[in-house]
Amino acid sequence: MLAYYISPCLCVVMIENDIFKALADPTRRAIFEKLATGSMNASSLREGLKISQPAMSQHLAVLHQAKLVRQERNGRFVNYEVDPDGLALIANWLAKYRAYWPERIDALRTLLKDMDQ
């Protein structure tokens, strides 16, 4: 497989890209937010969303591939829940920019203040 020839750093970037692509879709964001309340099967997740079962399966597959959702078979049903590893990747990505943005916003604020005078 290709992953064996790619550096670990590049693999993380690829997964981060998958995460943000997955969450760019409003339906997938709604599904992900519903899962924040706890584990659910696809039928429960469809409640309140106007999508077909095949569409739900497709959305869940994208979320799973992006490492945002994990699944566990329970008899005939598959239960889905938020994958903490995917959340950790998001948190790590945000942490890289957390120190950068306040400094930039302060600089912009100063610039705008100077322009007003």
Q: How do residues 74-115 score in pLDDT, each as one tens digit? A: 899 899 999 999 888 888 888 887 777 778 888 888 888 888
- Distant-in-sequence, close-in-space partners of 39: CB < 8 Å, separation ≥ 6: 72, 79, 80, 81
State the CB neighbour count (10 A cutoff) for residue 66: 22
Please tell me whether residue 77 adopts helix, strand or coil conformation. Answer: strand
Q: Residue 26's pLDDT band (boundaries 50, 70, 90)?
A: very high
* Statement: residue 5 has pLDDT above 80: no
Q: What is the pLDDT of residue 92?
A: 85
Distances (CA, A) of 111 to 91, 101, 108, 114: 30, 15, 5, 5
- In the chain, domain spans: 2-116
**Does the 2-116 domain belong in CATH 1.10.10.10?**
yes
User: Considering the entire predicted model, what is its pTM?
Assistant: 0.72
Average pLDDT over residues 37-59: 95
Orientation of helix 84-98 relative to helix 8-23, angle to 10°: 100
